[in-house]
Amino acid sequence: MQLRIGNGYDIHRLVPGRPLILGGQQLDHPEGLGLDGHSDADVLVHAIMDALLGALSLGDIGKYFPPDDPRWKGADSLVLLEQVVALVAERGWSITNVDSVVVAERPKLKPHIAAMRAAIAQRMGLDPDQVGVKATTNEQLGAEGREEGISCHAVALLHRP
Ligand code: MG
């Protein structure tokens, strides 16, 4: 069996007047902040997409969904994820698992983790136990700690017979 591993990283700014969408779930930030971006700015799904593309050296999401393309304005990132999963499948690879960690000071993500995993797994054609989503604060350090943004790191493992 052949194996491939990829890693992904993304960060988006927290701003007023935008929804806060993570793992396809709309969350409430205590200050009413949301993530800025051309699409829905779902930083968790973006990091997973980059991990999948990276595993096959296919480039990054900016290549497939450029931020200056009006087609992706306000796009549901879970729909973009489906397209990346299709690219992986077209090349004969299966996804073994993905894992991720979201770096956010607030809101508390723990109550939403199960729903995020279920939504991501469903769009990827996986079981939720193949989709790891973890959350950490940044101990009030750095951009995430100052709530200037939310970032996410992800890895993906692929296999082929
Ligand atoms: Mg992004």
pLDDT tens sequence across 31-59: 999 999 999 999 999 999 999 999 999 99
Question: From ligand 1's centre to the CA of 22, what distance in Å?
Answer: 11
Report the domain count for the chain: 1
Please give the model's pTM, rounded to 2 decimal places: 0.97
Which domain range does residue 140 map to? 2-160
Question: From ligand 1's centre to the CA of 133, what distance in Å?
Answer: 17
Domain of residue 90, CATH code:
3.30.1330.50
pLDDT tens sequence across 70-87: 999 999 999 999 999 999
Question: From ligand 1's centre to the CA of 67, what distance in Å?
Answer: 9
The type of residue at 104 is A
Question: From ligand 1's centre to the CA of 123, what distance in Å?
Answer: 18
DSSP strands (E only) in the chain? 2-16, 20-22, 25-27, 33-35, 94-103, 131-136, 149-160
- The residue with tokens 């205590």 is 30
